[in-house]
Amino acid sequence: MAVKCVISLVILVDLLNTAVTFKEDQSHWLKTGEEELTKALNKRLIEGTAKNVILFIGDGMGLTTITSSRIYGKGEAGHLAWEKFDNIGVLKTYSANKLVPDSCSTGTALFCGVKANHKTAGVDATVEKDDCEASMRKNAQLDSIISWAQDAGKSTGFVTTTRVTHATPAALYAHVPNRGWECENKIPTTASKCKDIAKQLVEDMPGKNIQVIMGGGRQCLVSSVNGSDADPIDTWSCYSTDGRHLIEDWKQDKAARGLSYQFVTNNRELENLDTSVDYTLGIFANGHLKMDYARDKGPTGMPSLQNMTVKAIQLMAKKRNGYLLMVEGGMIDFAHHRGHARQALDETIAFSNAIEKTIQITDPHETLIIVTSDHSHSMVLTGYPDRGSGVLSYTKSEIDLMPFTSLLYGTGGPNNYQFEATNGTVKRQDPSVNDTTDFAYSQQAVVMTDEVTHSGTDVLVFSKGPMAHLLNSVHEQTYVAYVISYASKIGPFKDKNTTNGSKKCNRGIFYGVGNHCLRNDNPFRNFSYLRRAVKAKR
């Protein structure tokens, strides 16, 4: 292990000391500009109704994470799967009572179209954290895009690398004043009237009618499960001990209603599942799924986000009325919270792979794909590193003459807070004595907290497909739910018209000048064509 570490350090030092030459002359950038102009001028809006909607949530995937992951996995000039989408907007992520939000309040905003209080899910801002009585009021409980889609006769599902009862997915189907109430063990006796998140998923609407559910969280659904090295108990999460077996209850409910169903637990079973079955439940871990770099890829191991997403689409695509699917790359956030930047970047690449495959197997004229994040993190990319050195490198401070990593955190746990006092002087630890490319390396943080905390900065939203152009400005986070409603004719805007009277042409779409259509074969010709059209109109 020590030899491997030394080799990694030697490679990194060589990389840092080697000048990388990039032969990008003026003609290169002119050509790049022409290509981007051509794409922009050739942009075609897709109108009409979205038969299907797939909402991808990169949990904790702020702009710095996107930029750093692109460099890490694709290089500076590369692109992640969603970065070629034509439509980009900005979402404001504050919650009802916090400038810096958590994942269930932001999930509620994205899925229900209403801002909620910190650590509450599926309820409006009249419900404070831990207020069981308030959360049980029907007028405080919110319908989500899942409920809207089910009411419209669509198939619904969600896929996550976290527990299926975790903060983000819980906002799709549960109404709780505390995101921690994933099973009975976390609910105080004073709130015994409230039902935990796991039971709401299996017993209540809309959870019991979600046709595809995939993720972790066995220990919240089944009491007293055993852990192992391959599948440990999640000590941060709820651990049920009330004798429940909600997986069996889920099966019995489907059998009683005459519905076909299947339950899968590993890679082999997922690969061989029956796509003609009505309901599929996949629980692959006691807690969260293992990260992509660490998971067992063999038959009895845990699946990737890409594998789960593809199977979910195959299961749901047969629905005549279409489907609504939420896909969460939840371990991006998990890695950031523990200050392991490389893990977060690697999970973002796995998230991109799932989206890349989704683009390949769906029709852009009938499927609206939205990619965004619920919130950002405090990671920054800084220090003027050389191109080619990568984001896991380090540079030297001109003040204390000590190296610092290109990726840093604003806050972090004890492993990230790398300062020590010597003879009354506080000094940073030297990162060059460690392998900063290791998955378990902890980047330095400025302030010590129990873990890396979220950031309150805005996040980006990328979209393609029917009505994707509605996401094109700075929006409230709640707006995403209403775009989905309007585009797919579900929920509050199901009866609104999804056309705006633009003229459709065989060779393009044009807005604003008479009845003229622009040519798409060579958009640079459109300048002179448009100039003549405007002159003729005058």
Residues labelled as active-site residues: 103
How far is CA 167 from each of CA 101, 171, 485, rounded to the nearest angstrom?
Answer: 12, 7, 22
Structure token digits, residue 280: 């599929």
Look at residue 306 and give its three-state secondary structure: helix
- Is the separation of the CB atoms in 443 and 408 below 8 Å? yes
- Is the separation of the CB atoms in 436 and 404 below 8 Å? no
In the block, tokens 């990008």 appear at 24
Q: How far apart are CA 248 and CA 203, in angstroms?
A: 12
- Is the separation of the CB atoms in 486 and 455 below 8 Å? no
Helix or strand run (H / E) with residue 536: helix 526-537
Of 328, 327, 326, 334, nearest to 291 (Cα)?
334
| R_g (Cα) of the chain, nearest Å | 25
Q: How far apart are CA 224 and CA 240, in angstroms?
A: 6
DSSP character at residue 293: T
Q: How many CB atoms lie within 10 A of CB 203?
A: 14
Task: Note the Cα 180 to chain centre separation in Å.
Answer: 20
DSSP character at residue 114: S
Q: How far apart are CA 284 and CA 306, in angstroms?
A: 14
Q: How far apart are CA 211 and CA 45, in angstroms?
A: 31
Q: Is 373 left (phi over 0), alpha (psi -120 to 50) or beta?
A: beta
Q: How far apart are CA 515 and CA 225, in angstroms?
A: 67
- Is the separation of the CB atoms in 240 and 258 below 8 Å? no
Q: How far apart are CA 115 and CA 110, in angstroms?
A: 9
Task: For residue 230, give the amino acid letter.
Answer: A
Look at residue 161 and give its three-state secondary structure: strand
